[in-house]
Structure formats: C-alpha cells, structure tokens
C-alpha cells in the first residue's frame, strides 16, 4: 500500500503540471471540467423526456417489421417499358404508391403500408391477420389500364361465338339523342344475369355506355339496362373503324385463332407485352365464360381517367353504375373513339377496358360521348361497380411493376426470430460486459453505464420513430443494433486507453482524464464519422433489408457520439474525483502500478519530454 500513498503525496504536482500543459486552452478545459454535472443532468433529462414522450405516444415498444411480427411483405419493382426510358421517376413512383395505398386500404387493410424504396421499388407490408392473398392480388395486378376498341370477339373455347348483345343495335332508334349501349362483362365474373329493362329507353339521357353482363343464359333480349347522363353533342367526326393493326392482321388473326382463353396458361401469355400502338389479342371473362378479343390500338390511356366512382342510380332504377370523368385530352380521345365506334355493329361498337392485358369490361357505345363524362351501366352489384370504378380510377398506374419478392412470415416464426435476436443481443451484451469488467475492472462501470444509456436511448428513439416516420424494427435492424454494441464500446476503449496512456506517463487521474479527452475525442469523431458515412451511403443507395440495417447502424453511431460526449466524459470527470479511482485502487482499472506507470520521481523530467518525438 505504499504506492497509493506515494501517489497521493504527488497528487498536487500533476495538478500543477496539468495546469501548465493545458494553459493555452484553459478556458475551455476549465468549463468542461467544472460542469460535468450539467451534461449528465442534460442527458438524463433528455432520456426522461424521450421516455415520457414514448409512453405518451402510446407506443411503448418499437414497431415490429413483418419478419418479426408476422405478415406479408411484397416488394414490387418498376420495370422499364420499351420506348419510355424515363418513365421511372419520383413523380410516377409517388403516384403509384398513392394508388396502391388507396387500393390496399380500400380493401379494409388499414394497417397495410406502402412505401417507396430506392428509386424503383415499392414495398407493401401487410400485417398478419389481413387477407394477404387478396391484397397481393390487388396490388400485384394493378398495372396498366387502357381503352381499346374491340375488333373481334368471340367466346373462347366454345364452339359458337355468342353475341348476346344483339339487341343493342336496335336501341339507337329509340332515342332522339344519341345513345350508346354496350355489351360488357363484369370484372369479377358475377353470376348476375342482366335484367332486361325498357325504362332506360325513355329517359332523355344522352351519351351512355353500357356494360351488360351477357351470361350465356341471356338471350338477345338481355340487353343491359340504364343509360348515362350528361352532355351529348353529337359530334360526328367519322373516323374509320377498326383502324390500325391491319398491317399485321394476318399474324394477329393466327394468334387469335390459336388462342383458347379457357386455358389459364394461354390466358397468362395472351397479349403480353403488347405496345399501346399495336393491335393485340386479349382474354376477358363474362360471367363464367371466357371471351377472346382482337383489340385495336389504345384509344385512351387509363391515366386520362380523372375520376371514376360507383353510384347507385336511384332515378332510373338502373342499379349500380360507374361514372367516369376524363381529363381534357382523354375527353377528346374518348369522343373520337366513341363517335367512331358508335357507327359500327357489334362487336365492333364496343371498346374494351383492358387492365393488365386482360379485358375487364367491354361496354358498347351507342353514340359519341364528347363531354368527358361517361357512364357504364349494367346489372352491376355494388361490389362489382366499386371494383370497376376502383380499377378505372386507381388502376391506371403510370408504371409497370413486377413482384420482386414476397415474404410471408407466420406469427410463430416472427416471434421466434424476435426472440432469437433478443437472446443474441443479450448474449453479445453480456460477453462484452464480461470482457470489459475483466479488462477494465472499475472503469467498466463507466463503460457499462454508458452502454446502458446508449441502449435506452436507442430503444426509446426506435419506439418513437415508429409512429413518426414509420420506422419498423426488422431482423437486420436488430442485427445492426447488436453489431453497434461493438462500435459503441470501442469509443470507451479509445478513451480509456488514452487515459491509461496518460497515467503511464505518470500523470494522476484527473489531469490524465482531461488530457486524454481531446485526443480521444478526435479519434472517436473521426472514426464514428467513417462509420456513419458507411451507414448513410448504404441507407441512401441500397434497397431491401440492407436499408433497415444501415438505419440502425447510423442511428447508433450518432447516439454513440452523443453518449460519449454528454455521458461518458462527464461521468469520467466526476469519478476521477473519487478516491477509489483517483488513488488507483487495484480494482479501479487505473492502478498506475499495474499499468506500469513511471515512478513519480521521474516525472520531473516528463514536462520536457512530451509525446512529440521532436523533443525527444
């Protein structure tokens, strides 16, 4: 025990020496040293406030990602369409997210979230308990919507082409104003049989579209009911019907002849990749019968539908119908095509609403519709009408997407993974603490306390980021947090080693801490900056799981700096005043003897021999 006393007797000298050494920046050092309590109080208040905020927000735990909570996560990647190299941009992606969001949440999956990721990915997260299959279909199939004129149509797989809309051709005479009637099919393939109704005929409505549901049982009289509303200017601008596509008509005809829409594999490939300007073949379902079509070039793009909604026609007893409004260019194009089509006979007076290369509806046109407003009526059920209007308004995605990855995690596996992550974290933390205690002894108190503060802050901030920026803790993020234990602990190691170096130089603890700090601080900042840079670049550039990892890593790196500056250093300063540490107790981890410090006697020389080699 002679050593500590020796140390104590020399305690006055290092102080003076310290003053001398630190003289140039005395002001800063003094203030930093004199108010360590202030930083501690500051960070404790911050923790308390954040924790309070966490409980006040009602989210005391971090939001869990799909892989930990269970559910389905779909990654959709936009693919470049030929001829539209610049279609994938932020505006289009945002529109797509918006559309998808409304669609999934329209299904009642209110918890589902849709986000962009990277420059061309959209992540759709559907929590467990929701009908992920339906949502996946809704989201996944939401692609391109086109209006194409029908050139040819027949029941596919059946011997005789049925043309149940024969009655439609009789209608125009019934009304002074122009009328459009149409046969069509309903998207969901309902069993509803069309109700023949005469009431519509007498109504002084003008332009209308009709979507019948000509089930096979329906005879020619089964024309759909109801007509539309709105302005009718009979702008007869005759344009040749069945235009376009005549060039490769032979090829299309051959495709058409070979096409059997009752076979799923043929349906899947029919008309795939057709360019908007080309004639193509397509399949569509009416009731439970598949029709095949030859369709002309795109007349109106789905993006030109401004609005579509399902309404219940209370006056005309037409039941559910779909009203749509086109934007200005859409109105014009629609007027052109309807005026053209209205002159033709069935089925060439029909246009097909093509969603994802599948005909979802093919109403016939009775007259040119020029006002930009149109109505599709038939014997829709409410669901069918809403589904069609949904497709019309939201189906018009500006981009084509494909499923890049679909992950379904059961709640059981999610729980297991969460548990495994937590156990791994606990083991990692325990190992680090054991190592620190073994190596740094008393000093490890500071390290462990700092680690705990860091962990608390990380947890609270993660919990708070859940409701605010939709941060969800997923497995890679847990992994990042565990890896960050090492980075955080390293800052303490840098600091401690510096202090020990100073003690080895023969300084007593308090000046050693103050001298070690500026140098350790620089090292910590430089290295944390590199680490943060890595995390930031990863977060911005990468996609998928990598991002969650990068986020946690970046967050913990920032918190590391905060904790070291506001907690570890002040705590160290305060502890340096305690006899246990200052006297270099053998369990303090700062025992000069164990550290192999120079005997105090030699310290007289030390000031003239600082670290710089130049003076050596």
Partner 1 sequence: MSKLGNLGARLHRGEVGYDFVGNRKIWYGISILITIAAILGLTVRGLNMGIEFQGGAIFTTPKTSVSVAQAETYAQDASGHAAVVQKLGTGGLRIQVAGIDTGKSDQIKDTLAKDLNVGSEQINADLVGPSWGEQIASKAWQGLAIFMVLVVIYLAIAFEWRMALAALVALIHDITITTGIYALVGFEVTPGTVIGLLTILGYSLYDTVVVFDSLKEQTKDITKQTRWTYSDIANRSINGTLVRSINTTVVALLPVAGLLFIGGGFLGAGTLNDISLSLFVGLAAGAYSSIFIATPLVADLKEREPQMKALRKRVLAKRAQAATQEDLAETRTTDEPEDATPAVVGQRNQPASRGRGRGRPSGKRR
Considering only the stretches 26-34, 185-193, 273-281, 476-484, report the one whose residues sit in contact with partner 1 under the rule CB under 8 A: 476-484
Is residue 500 within 8 Å of residue 590, measured between CB atoms?
A: yes
Beta-sheet pairing, 145-155 with 364-365 = unpaired
Handedness of CA 435, 437, 441, 447 (dihedral sign): positive
Question: Six-digit token pair at 1?
Answer: 């025990």
Q: In the β-sheet with 319-326, what is the strand arrangement from edge to edge?
A: 305-313, 319-326, 373-380, 209-210, 364-365
Output the smallest distance, CB 434 to partner 1, in A: 9
List the one residue from 311, 406, 449, 574 that touches partner 1 (CB under 8 A).
406
Rounded CA-CA distance 366/232 in Å is: 11
Q: How far is 590 from 581, CA to CA, in rounded Å?
A: 7
The residue (of 226 and 535) whose beta carbon lies closer to partner 1 is 535
Q: Does 32 bind partner 1 (CB under 8 A)?
A: no
Positions in 80-139 near partner 1 (CB under 8 A): 118, 121, 133
**Between 464 and 499, CB nearer to partner 1:** 499
Sites for partner 1 among residues 548-607 (CB under 8 A): 549-550, 553, 594-598, 602, 605-606
Q: Which member of 487, 558, 561, 574 binds partner 1 (CB under 8 A)?
A: 487
Give 355's strand partners.
145, 358
Site residues for partner 1, 42-81, by CB under 8 A, read 67, 75, 77
Q: Are 389 and 309 in contact, with CB atoms under 8 Å apart? A: yes
Query: Distance between CA 576 and CA 89 in Å, rounded?
Result: 57
Cβ-based nearer residue to partner 1, 74 or 295: 74
489 lies in the binding site for partner 1 (CB under 8 A): yes
How far is Cα 306 from Cα 311, in angstroms, rounded to an integer?
16
Residue number, 347 or 476, with CB nearest to partner 1: 476
What is the helix, strand, coil percentage profile of the chain, to 5?
50, 15, 35
> Interaction with partner 1 in 214-243: which residues (CB under 8 A)?
none
Q: Which residues in the 420-439 window bind partner 1 by CB under 8 A?
A: 420-421, 423-429, 431-432, 435-436, 438-439
402 makes contact with partner 1 (CB under 8 A): yes
Among 152, 417, 454, 583, binds partner 1 (CB under 8 A): 417
Piece of the chain touching partner 1 by CB under 8 A; list 39-47, 330-338, 371-379, 408-416: 408-416
Q: Which of 105, 177, 201, 542 binds partner 1 (CB under 8 A)?
A: 542
Cβ proximity to partner 1: between 275 and 522 the closer is 522
Chain centroid, CA 205 distance in Å:
45
Q: Is 312 in the site for partner 1 (CB under 8 A)?
A: no
- Count residues contacting partner 1 (CB under 8 A)? 92
Q: How far is the CB of 30 from partner 1 (least distance, A)?
A: 24
State which of residues 41, 48, 258, 526 lies at the interface with partner 1 (CB under 8 A). 526
Which residues does 487 contact at the CB level (< 8 Å), separation at least 6? 528, 531, 553, 556, 557, 560
Specify the residue, 309 or 542, whose C-beta has the smaller distance to partner 1. Answer: 542
Quick check: 538 binds partner 1 (CB under 8 A)?
yes
Q: What part of residues 275-304 is at the interface with partner 1 (CB under 8 A)?
A: none
- Does residue number 527 form part of the binding site for partner 1 (CB under 8 A)? yes
Q: Is 232 left (phi over 0), alpha (psi -120 to 50) or beta?
A: beta
Asked if residue 166 binds partner 1 (CB under 8 A), the reply is no
Determine if 519 is a binding residue for partner 1 (CB under 8 A): yes
Q: Which stretch binds partner 1 (CB under 8 A): 218-226, 254-262, 381-389, 406-414?
A: 406-414
Backbone CA torsion sign across 18, 24, 27, 33? negative
The answer to the question of residue 400 lying near partner 1 (CB under 8 A) is no
Stretch 437-466 residues interacting with partner 1 (CB under 8 A): 438-439, 441
d(CA 374, CA 361) in angstroms, rounded, equals 14
Phi, psi of 292 (to 5 degrees): -120, 150
Instruction: Give the residue with the Cβ less far from partner 1, 39 or 531.
Output: 531
Secondary structure of residue 441 in the 3-state scheme: coil
Select from 255, 309, 381, 408 the one that contacts partner 1 (CB under 8 A): 408
Strands of 81-136, DSSP E: 113-117, 121-127
Considering only 409, 445, 446, 555, the residue that binds partner 1 (CB under 8 A) is 409
Q: Exactly one of 161, 403, 470, 599 binds partner 1 (CB under 8 A); which one?
A: 403
Give the integer Cα–Cα distance in Å for 187 and 416: 41
CB atoms within 10 A of CB 459: 18
- If one asks whether residue 505 binds partner 1 (CB under 8 A), the answer comes out as yes
By CB under 8 A, which span of 189-197, 226-234, 369-377, 531-539 interacts with partner 1? 531-539
DSSP per-residue codes, 204-231: -----EE-----TT--TT-PPP----S-
Q: Report the interhelical angle of 545-563 vs 443-469 (nearest 10°).
A: 130
By beta-carbon proximity to partner 1, the closer residue of 392 and 555 is 555
Judged by DSSP in three states, 143 sits in: coil
């Amino acid at each position: 025990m002679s050593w500590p006393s020796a140390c104590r007797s020399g305690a006055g000298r290092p102080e003076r020496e310290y003053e001398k050494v630190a003289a140039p920046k005395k002001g800063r050092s003094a203030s930093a040293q004199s108010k360590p309590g202030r930083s501690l109080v500051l960070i404790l208040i911050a923790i308390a406030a954040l924790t309070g905020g966490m409980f006040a927000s009602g989210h005391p735990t971090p939001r869990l990602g799909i892989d930990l909570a269970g559910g389905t996560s779909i990654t959709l990647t936009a693919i470049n369409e030929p001829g539209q190299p610049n279609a994938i941009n932020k505006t289009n992606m945002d529109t797509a997210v918006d559309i998808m969001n409304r669609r999934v949440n329209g299904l009642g999956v209110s918890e589902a979230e849709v986000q962009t990721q990277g420059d061309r990915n959209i992540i759709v997260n559907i929590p467990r308990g929701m009908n992920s299959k339906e949502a996946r279909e809704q989201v996944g199939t939401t692609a391109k919507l086109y209006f194409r004129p029908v050139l040819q149509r027949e029941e596919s797989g059946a011997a005789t082409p049925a043309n149940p809309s024969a009655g439609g051709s009789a209608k125009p005479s019934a009304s002074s104003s122009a009328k459009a009637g149409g046969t069509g099919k309903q998207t969901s393939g309902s069993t509803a049989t069309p109700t023949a109704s005469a009431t519509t005929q007498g109504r002084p409505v003008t332009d209308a579209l009709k979507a019948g549901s000509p089930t096979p049982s329906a005879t020619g009289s089964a024309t759909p009911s109801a007509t539309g509303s709105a302005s009718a200017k009979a702008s007869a601008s005759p344009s040749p019907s069945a235009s376009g596509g005549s060039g490769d008509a032979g090829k299309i005809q051959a495709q058409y002849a070979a096409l059997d829409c009752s076979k799923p594999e043929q349906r899947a490939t029919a008309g795939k990749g057709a360019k908007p300007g080309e004639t193509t073949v397509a399949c569509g379902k009416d009731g439970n019968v598949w029709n095949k079509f030859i369709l002309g070039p795109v007349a109106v793009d789905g993006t030109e539908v401004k609005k579509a909604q399902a309404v219940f026609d209370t006056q005309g007893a037409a039941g559910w119908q779909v009203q749509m409004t086109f934007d200005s260019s859409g109105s014009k194009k629609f007027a052109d095509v309807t005026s053209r089509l209205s002159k033709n006979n069935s089925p060439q007076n029909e246009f097909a609403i093509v969603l994802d290369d599948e005909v979802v509806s093919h109403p016939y046109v009775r007259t040119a519709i020029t006002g930009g407003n149109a109505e599709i009526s038939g014997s829709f059920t409410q669901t069918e009408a809403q589904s069609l209007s949904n497709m019309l308004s939201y189906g018009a995605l500006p981009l084509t997407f494909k499923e890049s990855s679909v992950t379904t995690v059961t709640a059981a596996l999610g729980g297991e993974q969460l548990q495994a992550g937590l156990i791994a974290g606990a083991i990692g933390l325990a190992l680090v603490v054991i190592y620190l205690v073994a190596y740094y002894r008393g000093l490890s108190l500071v390290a462990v306390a700092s680690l705990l503060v860091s962990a608390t802050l990380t947890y609270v901030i993660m919990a708070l980021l859940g409701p605010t920026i939709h941060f969800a803790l997923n497995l890679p993020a847990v992994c990042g947090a565990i890896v960050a234990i090492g980075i955080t602990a390293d800052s303490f190691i840098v600091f401690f080693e510096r202090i020990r170096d100073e003690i080895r130089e023969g300084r007593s603890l308090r000046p050693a801490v103050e001298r070690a700090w500026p140098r350790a601080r620089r090292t910590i900042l430089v290295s944390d900056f590199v680490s943060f840079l890595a995390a930031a670049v990863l977060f911005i550039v990468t996609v998928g799981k990598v991002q969650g990892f990068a986020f946690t890593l970046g967050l913990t790196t920032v918190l590391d700096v905060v904790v070291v500056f506001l907690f570890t250093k002040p705590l160290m300063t305060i502890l340096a005043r305690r006899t246990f540490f200052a006297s270099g107790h053998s369990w303090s981890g700062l025992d000069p003897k164990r550290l192999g410090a120079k005997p105090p006697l030699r310290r007289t020389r030390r000031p003239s021999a600082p670290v710089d080699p130049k003076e050596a």
